A and B are shown apart, each in its own frame.
Chain A
Amino acid sequence: MTRKSLLGGGAIGALAIAIASVVSADIGDDEQLVVNGEIEMIIETAAPDHLEGHLSTIYSGWVFRSDETQAMQADDFDNPAFIFVDQAVDAFNTEMGAEGNSCASCHSAGDFADTRPTYPQWDAEHGEVQTVEMQVIECQTERMGMEEPYAYDSQAMRNMVALIASEGRGQVMNVAIDGPAQSTWEQGREIYYTRFGQLELSCANCHEQNYGNNIRADHLSQGQINGFPTYRLKQANLVSVHNRFRGCIRDTRAETFSVGSPEFVALELYVASRANGLTVEGPAVRN
């Protein structure tokens, strides 16, 4: 006797639904993320046009996390990332470099609302695509006279980028992928779909084809970076985009690109563009 006749068609249908609901346990159950009771986040929306044929809906990494982790992000007091943002506020107002300037000499709070949503972006003066980190280094070396600017993935840099991101929270990601940035964007897309490492995995294998499924005891997200820099409970610290890229590629057992490399800048631009339409959440809380 076949399994089908044992169970009957209706039971098969119910079983399929049950399995589907396990797989997508955290997706689409009408959750909403409102931070501090005022910043409404878009955690699910139609994918940008350039993802046609790949994804129809994009989800923030927030929807894949457990209720407890999600709750931590809804209030800045509960979000441990704001310990580091507080430290960045102090650094922001501290003089650094030979010119005797602090960040606050030129910038004031609220200036950076459009920064995280639009970076990485093309910098005409330098003729390259720049990330927020590169912009900070540029300021420190060219305008503040610092001999030793923040290292790309240093604690001070992650804190500062988290502060900048926090001002853009609630803004819709809108990274430009055409014009002079297009070739870099295409390079990033190439990297995204290239299989790396002994396990021969591309970014897309997990984050496009298997999001919502389990990877060991965890749900795979779509790998969106609108919540970066992210406070990871596992590290009890902020994690930068490039550090996360490096960790992912390392897990494929590959030799990774280095943090701050042109390859990772290109990949960051491409991955950021996949989140066009979601809101900036950084610094988010993830496990």
Chain B
Amino acid sequence: MADNVTPRVRVPREASAGDSVSVRTLISHPMESGQRRDGDGNIIPRQIINRFTCDFNGQNVVDVTLEPAISTNPYFQFEAVVNETGTFQFTWYDDDGSVYEETADIAVS
């Protein structure tokens, strides 16, 4: 697991049914591309987050493949239509097999 990986998400606390809400996520991660060399000329091994998913009440909202050119601390912002009260489940997959998870609840009236 890379050091100091902390996911952060921001979702409105409440919304009306059928609303499109703005979801923002940020995870601190070095996103080492595998192209750089250290001071001794050795290649620094690639370590990136290669996949990000967001589900709402078990239904997939986005499923993203990340590539090495994406910079440090990847940030995603997207819209999701919510029809019922529920929970967003966010998952980030690291090259080393680590999985980082975060959830956010939203109340729909």
Contact = CB atoms under 8 A, between A and B. Distances in A.
Contacts of B10: 77
B73 A87 contact: no
B71 A236 contact: yes
A226 to B, nearest CB: 25
A83 interface: yes
A80 interface: yes
Given A83-B73, A236-B71, A236-B72, A77 B26 contact: yes
Interface in A57-116: 77, 80, 83, 86-87
A77 to B, nearest CB: 5
Contact of A80 (B4, B6, B24, B73): B73
- The interface residues of chain B, by DSSP majority, are classed as loop
A83 B26 contact: yes
A76 to B, nearest CB: 10
A120 B74 CA distance: 35
Contacts of A80: 26, 73
B47 interface: no
B6 A87 contact: yes
Interface residues of B, number: 10
A86 B6 CA distance: 8
Nearest to A80: B73
B13 to A, nearest CB: 14
A87 B71 CA distance: 19
Nearest to A83: B28
B8 interface: yes
Contacts of A86: 6, 8, 28
Contact of A83 (B6, B24, B71): B6
A236 B75 CA distance: 13
A86 B26 CA distance: 12
A121 B26 CA distance: 37
A87 B26 contact: no
A80 B6 CA distance: 12
Contacts of A77: 8, 10, 24, 26
Contacts of A83: 6, 8, 26, 28, 73
Nearest to B25: A77
A77 B23 CA distance: 12
B48 to A, nearest CB: 15
Interface string B53-82: 000000000000000000111000000000
A236 B28 CA distance: 11
B29 to A, nearest CB: 10
A130 to B, nearest CB: 28
A287 to B, nearest CB: 15
18 contacts: A77-B8, A77-B10, A77-B26, A80-B26, A80-B73, A83-B6, A83-B26, A83-B28, A83-B73, A86-B6, A86-B8, A86-B28, A87-B4, A87-B6, A87-B28, A236-B71, A236-B72, A236-B73
Interface of B: 4, 6, 8, 10, 24, 26, 28, 71-73
**6 closest A-B pairs (Cβ-Cβ)?**
A83-B28, A77-B10, A87-B4, A86-B6, A236-B72, A83-B73
